[in-house]
């Protein structure tokens, strides 16, 4: 099982913005039902993309500054960063197929 990196404000720059790999960040919150539904999908993606894409999770309640910086208004929001820049985003629960369709051009 692939571990999903837990991000915080302090680690965001080194783990996401300076990453040589593309990074999918799952902006989430513990109280969010769609986030809980999305979690196993994100874990499957982490396994599928192991070694090619870094998959990380950021709790918006504890890291509101990062969420605001990227205009995350709702959770879950998935943002794909390539070369430190956000290139794609999906908000709300998404199927694995939809995530793959939207992100695979960049990974």
53-87 pLDDT tens trace: 999 999 999 999 999 999 999 999 999 999 999 99
Q: Is 21 helix (H, G, I), strand (E, B) or coil?
A: coil
pLDDT band for position 107 (cuts 50, 70, 90): confident
Of 35, 38, 75, 78, catalytic = 35
Contact 10, 60 (CB under 8 A): no
32 is catalytic: yes
Of 24, 32, 42, 99, catalytic = 32
* CATH architecture label of 5-99: 3-Layer(aba) Sandwich (3.40)
pLDDT at 40 over 70: yes
Report pTM.
Answer: 0.96
pLDDT at 1 over 70: no
């Amino acid at each position: 099982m692939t571990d999903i990196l837990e991000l915080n404000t302090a680690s965001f720059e080194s783990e996401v913005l300076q990453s040589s790999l593309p990074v999918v960040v799952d902006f989430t919150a513990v109280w969010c039902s769609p986030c809980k539904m999305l979690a196993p999908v994100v874990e499957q993606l982490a396994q599928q993309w192991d070694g090619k894409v870094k998959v990380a999770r950021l709790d918006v309640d504890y890291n509101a500054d990062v969420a605001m910086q990227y205009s995350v208004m709702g959770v879950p929001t998935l943002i794909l960063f390539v070369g430190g820049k956000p290139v794609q985003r999906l908000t709300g629960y998404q199927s694995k197929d939809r995530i793959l369709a939207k992100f695979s051009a960049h990974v």
